[in-house]
Chains A and B, each alone.
Chain A
């Protein structure tokens, strides 16, 4: 069977799952389409390392957000999506899980800060519990809110205004509040979709420091448009181009000695 042989070779060369030891998440030959035969990402395989920051880079429209969203099935909000292959969290294929359960294990932070505008800072942090109808004692709630806000470094800034609306905070504070909201639920993995692209440099550096601090407790996957951000904070990097995972490896290695010509051209600013 020559075709199968060829296919296997292709996978082995391009997508070194084996490189990551005991990955917490395995993306296995995943293709996602928003309808028709056109695939936004094609045959992506990769393992995500536990307690590390993995950055997904690439030019606009390369499928990096699609890949990220496919990990907690947020891409299914668009009609007519279909996918091939699978994503494994532990031994479970996430496409066989209930998306509601899945999203409780894999949290997400978005490009624009999006705290719930009708809720206070306190209620925003605890929203994952409240909205899911999980009853907690007042003291438990207080503890979760304080712990989550401390983790994102927001506690000292907002502890006196916990019951004000979250939308009165600055953009950077709002984004940290959104991270706290995702953390409160103690998910296994946190996905971030260009979390700093709407923020100023100071707020950005605060979020970056925070992510580096958070990786001891969480596995972080980050989509970024900003190469230097990936270089600063990530342990592993993926470079995607036209829906294909071109290169995946240790960030340091990728930035110093990229294996693929396209990666090199992107990193040196020839396109993107």
Chain B
């Protein structure tokens, strides 16, 4: 019906325009104006797109210019310098001795532990959501996970403090930092797992079930391996998100001037070190190199996430 009536309306309109004696011709001048507007709009769009790509390079440039002098082997393998050493070095116009090894080890431990908590939980939860797309309980869980994504990171720090620092480790600890960060990375793993598994055709599940394969093995051996690239991408993006987090760690891991591998003790982390360097006038020069290191780490994680998404993609 709808298709049938359309041309009629068009014809009517044309007749109407002819009766009104309105010219549908466009003058040369107007045409030129239109083309010009078109050009301005297109080029404006290109320029603005370019502009949003600029900050990253400016940041990298700034950090590299100011921080490259500090980046050397000892920067990665030595603990953070104390204020006196740094003051003497700066006074003699030398580079500050020491590095951020305590931060690197702390970040590895805290982020590793957070991943250990959040990855299995997130993948299982995401699988449940994908398998029960329409269920009421799943809808509730999905809503809560979405809300969790919006919880300010400092609030997660407070939670880590209340849950772990006070009752469990009776003092600031890497464990408390891990718990706070694991809550932070959970939503991204859940949602990426869910979205990935939803894309997998249902016929694959049918194929496995029709072979008499029990449901848990269908999920573990057929569905999850098929979605591995999407799930891993989500996991790595989650890791890169928490690796740069500072606020929750201030209230949980606190920081440490030495390498500490005991998870019930206070621990340093790279972003925490940046904050500490900022607070110590003698160590200011270390800010740039530590920031550069952190930024490169996170960029590397993001690039590897993209590479995995492309290379490990399973075709179905």
Does residue B150 face the partner (Cβ distance < 8 Å to A)?
A: no
Contact with A along B190-205 (1 / 0, CB 8 A): 0000000000010111
* A74–B136 alpha-carbon span in the complex (Å): 24
Complex CA–CA separation, A108 to B212 (angstroms): 10
Q: How many residues of A contact B (CB 8 A)?
A: 30
Cβ < 8 Å to B, chain A residues 59-93 = 72, 74, 77
- The 8 Å CB contact of B210, one of A107, A118, A132, is A107
Is B152's CB within 8 Å of the partner chain A? no
CB of A132 within 8 A of CB of B212, answer yes
**B210/A182 in contact, CB under 8 A:** yes
Asked if A103 and B316 sit within 8 Å, CB to CB, the answer is no
B225 partner residues in chain A, CB cutoff 8 A: 118
Interface contact A104-B206, CB-CB below 8 Å:
no
Let me know if A116 and B207 touch, CB within 8 A. Answer: yes
Residues of B within 8 A of A118 (CB): 222, 225-226, 228, 314
Q: Does B39 contact A (CB under 8 A)?
A: no
What B residues does A101 contact at CB under 8 A?
A: 212
**Within 8 Å of chain A (Cβ to Cβ): is B21?**
no
Quick one: which of B159-208 are within 8 Å of A by CB?
A: 201, 203-208
A185 touching B206 in the complex, CB below 8 Å, given contacts A118-B225, A118-B226: no
Contact B210 A131 (CB under 8 A): no
Given contacts A117-B314, A117-B315, A118-B314, contact A103 B201 (CB under 8 A): no
Question: How far, in whole Å, are A185 and B225 apart by their CA atoms in the complex?
Answer: 23
Q: Which residues of A contact B209 (CB under 8 A)?
A: 74, 77, 103
A188 to chain B, nearest CB (A): 13
Check B206 against A74 for contact (C-beta < 8 Å).
yes
Distance from B203 Cβ to chain A, minimum over Cβ atoms (Å): 4
- Taking a contact as CB atoms under 8 Å apart, the answer to whether B206 and A114 are in contact is yes
Closest residue of chain B to A72 (Cβ to Cβ) is B210
Which residues of the partner chain A approach B55 to less than 8 Å between Cβ atoms? none
- Interchain nearest-CB distance for B150 vs A (Å): 32
List, sorted by A's number, 8 A–B pairs whose CB atoms are closer than 8 Å: A72-B210, A100-B212, A103-B211, A112-B201, A117-B204, A117-B315, A118-B226, A167-B315
Q: Nearest 6 CB-CB pairs, A to B?
A: A104-B212, A108-B210, A103-B212, A117-B316, A114-B203, A128-B211
**9 additional contacts (CB under 8 A) given A114-B206, A128-B213, A131-B217:** A74-B206, A100-B212, A100-B213, A107-B211, A116-B226, A117-B226, A117-B315, A127-B211, A131-B208
